[in-house]
Amino acid sequence: SYVLTQPPSVSVAPGKTARITCGGNNIGSKSVHWYQQKPGQAPVLVIYYDSDRPSGIPERFSGSNSGNTATLTISRVEAGDEADYYCQVWDSSSDHPLVFGGGTKLTVL
Amino acid sequence: QVQLVESGGGLVKPGGSLRLSCAASGFTFSDYYMSWIRQAPGKGLEWVSYISSSGSTIYYADSVKGRFTISRDNAKNSLYLQMNSLRAEDTAVYYCARAPRRQPHYFDYWGQGTLVTVSS
């Protein structure tokens, strides 16, 4: 089945830009979705279809997807962005179409 | 507003059964695909099962296939997960989540989750 690989952790200083990657074989041919999860809370969708933002999500959150890597970019990082981030794809060629990455802990220094 | 409220979690012995429910409100439940997703303590998200709006299309993760059954009652605006032959590794918070109507390949709303603990 399809595998998504994320770095376990990313650290960034406030005001800087954080980039969280999600690797997969030819992931650029799939649509990637991103979720933010803060401790003790349910996940929240922050990016869908590679780069679209749901209403209420700040413009500081953006996404891209090409080749074997999708990237969630958070500009002007704030303390409140500290959370776990998960990428997800739908693998239409599989009997197990829903795949999550292992998650990345974003630490704001 | 969209609300998803899970219930039915608790402590169960290995080999036991549990039925989770997810009560939906604030949208036309029968129009949407739904899913169960779990998270073991300190671990990442794991997709469990997925059901189409009519219930005619269902998927299961290999880890639960043959033991768990997803179902829905559109008249009651409810999603269910019947869990049998439970194992310690099924211990997790179980979330129900809604997939958008036109492109049901991701999840735009999640419930707060219900904790299932499998232990003797």
pLDDT along chain B (120 residues), means of 10: 97 97 97 97 96 94 96 98 98 97 92 97
Tokens 């739904």, located at residue = B34
In chain B, which residues have their Cβ closer than 8 Å to the Cβ of A101?
A: 44
pLDDT at A76 over 90: yes
Minimal C-alpha gap between A81 and chain B (Å): 18
Answer whether A29 touches B (CB < 8 Å).
no
A56–B contact, CB cutoff 8 A: no
Q: Which of B43, B107, B108, B112 to mutate to test the interface with A (most CBs of A within 10 A)?
A: B107
More confident residue, A16 or B101: A16
Chain B: residue whose CA lies nearest to A90: B105
- The pLDDT of residue A94 is 85
Closest CA to A42 of B114, B60, B21, B77: B114
How many inter-chain contacts (A to B, CB under 8 Å) are there?
A: 58
Q: What is the DSSP string of B84-110?
A: -S--GGG-EEEEEEEPPSS--SS-SEE
Nearest to A32 by CA among A101, A105, A106: A101
Check CB contact under 8 Å for B111 and A42.
yes
